Amino acid sequence: MKPIKVGLLGIGTVGSGTFNVLKRNQEEITRRAGRAIQIAMVADLNVERARELTGGECEVVNDANLVVSNPEIDIVIELIGGYGIAKDLVMKAISNGKHVVTANKALLATHGNEIFKAAQEKGVMVAFEAAVAGGIPIIKALREGLTANRIQWVAGIINGTTNFILSEMRDKGLDFDVVLKEAQRLGYAEADPTFDIEGVDAAHKATIMSAIAFGIPVQFDKAHVEGITKLQADDIRYAEQLGYRIKLLGITKRTSNGIELRVHPTLIPEKRLIANVEGAMNAVLVHGDAVGATLYYGKGAGSEPTASAVIADLVDITRLATADPEHRVPHLAFQANALANTPILPMSEITTSYYLRMNVADQPGVLADVTRILADSSISIDAMLQ
């Protein structure tokens, strides 16, 4: 049987990892897929570097349109990122009848509904395991492994940059700004880290998981997004004294009124497994009615961990390429015509616990005033440090 031919758009960190892992484990991957998977074309603006990385083993071009329009290419891997040219290329690939593998969480969180609809109509697959939590197979777990469950909630540390910063703040007692500079020096944070530290990257991923978990369209614009930029070393220290650790969590939860979809710093009891996920590692907790709580842990970024997820998608598509499109695993786990219109709740309608830190005058009666103000608003106090 002839090999499945793949076109790779972008051979940066993840693209080079994908090429190398596919080459190194070719025999094992072929045994699992049932036929060989071959990267036949690579598109990258830096043609010389791309040729060096691929060792002349495939055609290299500087125009990605040549890849998505090539009739010999069966699957297109999009690793360019962003919303602009990446979307145009993905839609063009689908229009040309090609399956798509992408690690682009921003694209799917904002334009996923349009992309999945186009793929459904054309009878092709869009696979995106690498878009959430790098090498952790959380998308497959939600779409397939937990398919018997009515999922109650998903909560995860899904951004390694912020988790590294929070771990360093706790270990060394340093403020956010100091640790961010160190994270940039070590390569954990980008030169412009806004998407990471403001929670946007985590919200993209939480949006995708929410859609799969609850069978709703992707709705990034309705997510509550709060980053870690306002946290100080004092907050980390007080949380420790109260028996908690602060993590940036992506949370989505089913309630009687609708779906919660939020990203914000969260106090987690220090004995919980997820509270002890340190450095740039990721972890996702999923609670299903039949299975209870399950935890998925591993590297959420990096060249080969993310490549592992990209290649898993290639194998899935290769196995299912000849299957009846109506009976493949749906993009968002639920059949396209059965997505629910359950509303996403605004943060103002969500009841949860909060941590408050206040600077007050050191004089009698102040504490009584604070507790009275909270009581007047029907807010109870679980624990207090003074």
Which pLDDT belongs to residue 327?
63
Is the full-model pTM beyond 0.85?
yes
- 380: helix, coil or strand? coil
What are the b/e assignments for 83-106, b being 16+ CB within 10 Å? Answer: eeebbebbbbbbeeebbbbbbbbb
Looking at the structure, tell me whether residues 291 and 310 fall in a common domain: no
Looking at the structure, tell me whether residues 224 and 124 fall in a common domain: no
pLDDT digits (tens, 9 = 90+) for 27-36: 999 998 888 9
Looking at the structure, tell me whether residues 39 and 153 fall in a common domain: no
Which pLDDT belongs to residue 326?
67
Looking at the structure, tell me whether residues 179 and 118 fall in a common domain: no
Looking at the structure, tell me whether residues 284 and 313 fall in a common domain: no
- Say if 165 falls within a structural domain: yes
Looking at the structure, tell me whether residues 15 and 129 fall in a common domain: yes
- Say if 46 falls within a structural domain: yes
- Say if 34 falls within a structural domain: yes
pLDDT beneath 50, residues of the chain:
none
Of the three residues 276, 299, 322, the one that is the final residue of a domain is: 299
Give the range of the structural domain holding residue 18, as residue numbers without chain letter: 4-137+303-338
Cβ partners under 8 Å of residue 336, min gap 6: 116, 117, 120, 330
Among 87, 105, 205, 299, the one annotated catalytic: 205
Looking at the structure, tell me whether residues 56 and 160 fall in a common domain: no
Cβ atoms of 128 and 90 within 8 Å: the answer is no
Concerning whether 205 is annotated as a catalytic residue, the answer is: yes
Q: Mean pLDDT across the chain, nearest whole number?
A: 93
Which pLDDT belongs to residue 336?
80
Question: Tell me, what CATH number does 173's domain have?
Answer: 3.30.360.10
- Say if 114 falls within a structural domain: yes
Looking at the structure, tell me whether residues 126 and 171 fall in a common domain: no
Which pLDDT belongs to residue 322?
62
Question: Tell me, what CATH number does 84's domain have?
Answer: 3.40.50.720
